Structure 1
Amino acid sequence: MDRSKELEEDKISNLLFKFAIPAIVGTMVNALYNIVDRIFVGQGVDPLGIAGITIGMPIMIMLMAFGMLIGVGATSLISIRLGQKRKEEAELILANAMLLSVLVHAAISILGLMFLDPLLRAFGASDAVLPYARDYMSVILYGAVFQGISFGMNNFIRAEGNPGIAMATMLIGAITNTILDPIFIFKFKMGVRGAAIGTIISQGISAAWVLLYFFGGKSMLKVRVKNFRLKWSIVRDIISIGSAPFAMQVASSILNVILLNSLSEYGGDLAISAIGAINSISMMILMPVFGINQGAQPIIGYNYGAQKYDRVKEALKLAIFWATVIVTSGFIITRIWGAQLIGLFGKNNKEFIQIGTEGLHIFLLMMPIVGFQVVSSNYFQAVGKPKQAMFLSLSRQVLLLIPMLYILPNFWGLKGIWASGPASDLGASIITAIWIFKEMNGLNQKICETENN
């Protein structure tokens, strides 16, 4: 069946399975880059090494933010244009997004290396942690363009209906990283710098795979040299639609700066190491949900563009259901094996395990409702409504979580920092439920109008 026809006519559950499973594998594999680094550093260096990697997270999140701004924004546009049978415009968007991604990530790399030490200090790096953070991030920034290509442009492969190839991109990089990390850390005794070297080599291999796909003639959308000129109207549309996930990541970066400084004040370096472990565990739970989002996006976007609103609703409901199953399962696992999970990142440090386990149990208390909030926010992005998507995406990390981080520690210290997570999750989910209910009423009206015409 033709890919476009498949998106419009195939059973929604089959489509979501086909698109989401590779995306889930891909996103979880992508998460393994940081998680594997932290586990091997925790085992081969010490918890301060994990603190060093964690201190650099605001910069890494900003790299991901620009990858999502361009990658997700262009993916939504490409999916909608394909649904409208406007393939030439989709190819123009593809080329503009590729060029934009390379230019932006090169600029971030240069600026980041110029101001690295002051940035790390501003993020809360102590004298003990700064050398670890500098060793790791200086190498990561050299490979920023690789990340932009492998992470951002991989979305385009999925947008044209090839989720299996997109999954392979992530698998190749993660498997390579898992092999290289212990070699550089344990065999060559390179510590956190070795973990970073393994990461950028792996991202470079993934980037080469993506470029080979588009320039090797395997893609449905062709990369044409004449399209490699930035067109302001396309750049503007990419930024407009991609602004919601971008803003969410920027907010996440700001949030991490506030969080790291608060942890430094109320818990010290071990608390910073603990949040690194907690974030890794949380990431492994949420990455499948992001994979469901990625799988549902072209289905929702295409059918919305084709005015198949009943299929849009069905795809959304199914995505919410499976996202909730995943986060609830993850929540149960953290309740039962919390200490063992934290121990993966530093089994020989009892104080680290104690701080981390307590933080894990409190910080992820509302995890069972997070899947609904994440998927529902993504719906607005998929149908080209960036303002709504941005508001809902930011509700958790800006409107609620940041104020909580300033208020609750004044009453409960370190426990107040941990409690900020579930408090913001609950508030954001309530706001999202109100918005998505209104949106579904609007879709029902459109379905009635379509049936009457």
Structure 2
Amino acid sequence: MDRAVKNIKEMEEMGIRRLLWKYFLPAFTGVLVNALYNIVDRIFIGRGVDALALSGLSAVFPLMLIIFAFAMLVAIGANVRISINMGKRDYKRAEWVLGNAVTLGIIISILLTLFGYIYRYPLLKIFGEGEGAMPYALEYFEYILFANIFANIGFILNNACRAEGNPKTAMYSLFISAGTNTVLDPIFIFGFGMGVKGAAIATIISQFVLCIWVVAHFYSKRSTLKLHFSNLRLNSHIIYNIITIGFAPFSMQMAASAVQAVLNTQLIRYGGELAVGAMGIINSVGQLLVMSIIAINMASQPIIGFNFGAEQYKRVKETLLICIYAATFISFGGFALTQLLPGEIVRIFNTNNPELFELGRKGLRIFTLFFPVVGFQIIIGSYYQSIGKAGIAAFLSLLRQVIILIPILYLLPRFYHLDGVWFANPISDLLAGAISSIFLIKALKKLNKA
């Protein structure tokens, strides 16, 4: 446990800024590389197939969010529990959490694959797919479903690498996987002329590579924790602890899927299938904008979880404040970029359809109007998740993406049509930011008293 002793000493003694930077750089690189999965697929398909193919992928996106939500349910829940147990120096319990997370991930992945394949057509219709883009969506989704188990186990174990104190290993894993996808996409789409199917096969191969890589890590000398066969046996208490903590990010991803479904149906109703394609571009840009904030969350979770478990509340508060300042700075930068260069951003994804270009340019600018207040909302939700307050974390996650946004999505378009769809997001950002600030104040007061 020499490596574990070193990691614990760093958590207890290293300066928070330096510690966050150590965890942030691999997390940021990993998130950036991971985001390339969907974004690279959309760029190559938007340029190499046609606009309807891009719309088809946009309809698959909410279903992929649902699949990813279940991966996050297990991965983030296990991540927090591993960090807290390591803070308490209970390494056996941490390894038991790791094993249970793998088993739970396998079971959920198999069930999702079976359900998704059986109901693939009605699911795509529910999530706003039009008949013109349906063949593209079905082809892509059918292939992606069968890579589900590799993607989920890879994601779960990659998060566990960070929780055990090996953020660089997690970064290298995603580099290898997303790099494989980026190289194979143009080969299959253009070289072999496989179109959408080629993009899906490239993704399957890259996710299989990730899964094998991280499984091998937990059997190697590099890992702090080990993956033991005996720990694969499910324990009801551990599963409960994983799910209660993982429910917040799970609900956030499910909410994102529900919102995307509502968005797609409203976009088709008021703007047609090309508006759904424009939304796909906006989603890709949104992923890039928030990835730095997500990386801050990923860097802070093991630090906050460990120090909260060790009752080092001053270090918890310092971590929280630094993360809020950084996230707010990043949010302002993203806002400035999308307001000043919306057309240049949209051209990256599509250059041959003027109507799609104009829809994407206008939509992107409106969607990010209040992006400056998004950063600290994400951080405060992650903070409550990291300290084991699953209920509050779930509420804050649902607030912006469901509780406020969905009613507005149904209300505004009745009066303002497509503009109403675009404006729903910034209004939700502003209202959710005001409510989240109340929870931030409460969190700081409690940390000051501790």
* TM-score normalized by the length of structure 2: 0.98
- Measure the CA separation in 2 of the matches of 1:186 and 1:242: 40
Partner residue, 1:449: none
Q: 1:216: how far off?
A: 2.6
Separation in structure 2 between the aligned mates of residue 10 and residue 229 of structure 1, nearest angstrom: 36
Q: Does 1:325 align with 2:329?
A: yes
Whether 2:56 is the aligned partner of 1:56: answer no
Question: Which residue of the other structure, out of 6, 9, 12, is the alignment partner of 1:2?
Answer: 6
3-state SS of paired residue (1:153): helix
**Are residue 424 (structure 1) and residue 433 (structure 2) matched?**
no
For 2:172 and 2:331, locate their aligned partners in 1 and report how far apart those are by CA, in whole Å.
25
* Equivalent in the alignment of 1:440: 444
Distance 1:8 1:384 in 2: 19
Counterpart position of 2:19: 15
Superposition misfits of 4+ residues, deviation over 4 angstroms:
none
Q: Which blocks of at least 5 consecutive residues in structure 2 are unaligned?
A: none
Which whole-Å CA distance do the structure 2 matches of 1:348 and 1:150 have between them?
37
Tell me the distance in 2 between the aligned counterparts of 1:349 and 1:138: 28
Shift of 1:111: 1.1
Paired residues of 2:268 and 2:275 also in contact (CA < 8 A): yes
Mapping 1:1-400, distance limit 5 Å: 2-400=6-404
Q: Is the 8 A contact 1:264 1:271 kept in 2?
A: yes
1:404 equivalent to 2:408? Answer yes
Identity %: 45
8 A contact 1:53–1:136 mirrored in 2: yes
Give the AA of the match of 2:67: L
Alignment partner of 2:19: what SS? helix
Q: 1 CA distance for matches of 2:237 and 2:90?
A: 16
- Following TM superposition, by how much is the alpha carbon of 1:324 offset from its aligned partner in structure 2, in angstroms? 1.5
Contact 2:255–2:401 (CA<8 Å) still a contact in 1? yes
Q: Deviations over 1:81-134 (max 9, x none)?
A: 000111110010000001111111121111101111111111121111100100
In the alignment, the residues of structure 2 paired with residue 126 and residue 303 of structure 1 have an alpha-carbon distance, to the nearest angstrom, of: 50
Alpha-carbon distance in structure 1 between the residues aligned to 2:218 and 2:402: 37
- For 1:352, the aligned partner's letter is L
Q: Distance in 2 between matches of 1:3 and 1:217?
A: 15
What's the offset of the Cα at 1:5? Answer: 1.2
Q: CA deviation at 1:387?
A: 0.5
Q: 1:152, 1:260 → 2: CA distance?
A: 29
Shift of 1:217: 3.5
Amino acid at match of 1:423: I
Paired amino acid for 1:305: G
Q: CA deviation at 1:218?
A: 2.3
Equivalent residues, number: 446
**1:304-355 Cα deviation digits (max 9, x unpaired):** 1111111001101111111122221122111222111111111111111101
Counterpart CA distance in 2 for 1:225 and 1:39 is 41
In the superposition, the TM-score normalised over structure 1's length comes to: 0.97
Q: Distance in 1 between matches of 2:128 and 2:231?
A: 44
Q: Deviations over 1:156-188 (max 9, x none)?
A: 000011000001111111111110001111111
**Whole-angstrom distance in 1 between the partners of 2:37 and 2:442:** 39
The CA distance in 2 between the partners of 1:442 and 1:122, in whole Å, is: 44
**Distance in 2 of aligned mates of 1:153 and 1:414:** 42
Q: Deviation of residue 282 (structure 1)?
A: 0.8
Q: What's the CA shift for 1:228?
A: 1.3
Q: Give CA-to-partner distance per residue, 1:375-406, whole Å, 9 cap, x none.
A: 11100000110011011111001110101100
Q: Secondary structure at the match of 1:320?
A: helix
**Partner AA of 1:162 in structure 2:** N
Counterpart-to-counterpart distance in 1, 2:230 and 2:128: 47
* C-alpha displacement of 1:152: 2.1
**Contact residue 21 and residue 292 of structure 1 kept, 8 A:** no
Letter in 1 for 2:346: I
Q: Deviations over 1:174-232 (max 9, x none)?
A: 11111000111111111111111111111110111111101234211111121110111
Partners of 1:47 and 1:345 within 8 A in 2: no
Q: Is the 8 A contact 2:101 2:156 kept in 1?
A: no
1:255-280, Cα deviation, whole Å (9 max, x unpaired): 11111100010010110000000010
Q: Is the 8 A contact 1:176 1:202 kept in 2?
A: yes
Report how far residue 294 of structure 1 moved. 0.4
Opposite residue 319 of structure 1, the aligned amino acid is C
Q: Is the 8 A contact 1:409 1:416 kept in 2?
A: yes
Q: Which runs of 5+ in 1 are unaligned?
A: 447-453
**Distance in 2 separating the partners of 1:153 and 1:162:** 11
Partner Cα distance (2:216, 2:229) in 1: 15
